[in-house]
Structure 1
């Protein structure tokens, strides 16, 4: 259970904002945290779990060329995922995550790297990258979920 999820739901309700999520490395954990809260249906519009590159392209409209050029774990793809979630939903705000939870990674894309995107109606998407390091798959996913929720909360306040 996330301590931030109830705050996100309350803030979104207070402002009448619908939320969408686009998740890769978390596999739906952000959506699950939000929908764990009673009454979340008033503000949670939908979630996309786009684990594969094909799903990112087919469900969110992320250009295959963007994935080929920058890699799935990039701010460019996170931005396109957030924008795609906004465009393919009735939400006013969308958060996206794509990363390497581990184990594994490479010299250029290390384990624990997660890229975040945040899109709001009428504004260009924003992106961030967090380097959690090789702290284990579960912890990377946990920190990713919490950071994504904090991005939504900050944006709706």
Structure 2
């Protein structure tokens, strides 16, 4: 994980790009990991932990009907929190993540625990959008999602 984040950090600095995060399921882990490489202040703008659906609605502007129809842990809500983040933090890349690292959310047989949704917007346009199922304990799922997000960023920035 650390190596891919370092590579992404290097590319962001070289291309003079900035990044911000809206995190639900990862609860700030993405922003924390991206703050570790040298010169993080050159690319990392910040992030918002929006674990509770009320924050998704009240701060990021996600419509109640979108949450009710699709659940807080969904592709649609992930896109909406990423879109809402653009209004709060000025950055070149905005990344949103929601999902189910542990039981107690909207899990179903079609959306089991471990399902994570990642959406990124670069300069106002969708950069990538992915649903992936991870396995393991909650921390392993979160670390997997952070690593996968770094890999997606690396792949799409190169």
TM over 0.5: yes
Residue aligning to 2:27: 27
Conserved? CA contact 2:93–2:121, under 8 Å = yes
Residue aligning to 2:131: 129
Residue-by-residue CA offset, 1:73-119 (whole Å, 9 max, x unaligned): 11101111111222321101011110110145333431101111111
Alignment of 1:70-81 (within 5 A): 70-81=70-81
Q: Specify every segment of 5 or more residues in structure 1 that has no aligned partner in the other structure, as ranges.
A: none
Aligned mates of 1:64, 1:126 — CA distance in 2: 24
Aligned mates of 1:18, 1:68 — CA distance in 2: 32
Residue aligning to 2:145: 144
Q: Superposition RMSD on alpha carbons, in Å?
A: 1.6
Q: Specify every segment of 5 or more residues in structure 2 that has no aligned partner in the other structure, as ranges.
A: none
Instruction: After TM superposition, give the deviation of residue 147 of structure 1 in Å.
Output: 1.0
TM-score by length of 1: 0.91
Aligned mates of 1:47, 1:90 — CA distance in 2: 11
Instruction: After TM superposition, give the deviation of residue 8 of structure 1 in Å.
Output: 1.2
Alignment of 1:44-83 (within 5 A): 44-83=44-83
Instruction: After TM superposition, give the deviation of residue 153 of structure 1 in Å.
Output: 2.2
Query: How many residues are treated as equivalent by the alignment?
Result: 156
Regions of 4+ moved over 4 Å: none
Alignment of 1:89-100 (within 5 A): 89-100=89-100
TM-score by length of 2: 0.91
Aligned mates of 1:122, 1:49 — CA distance in 2: 21
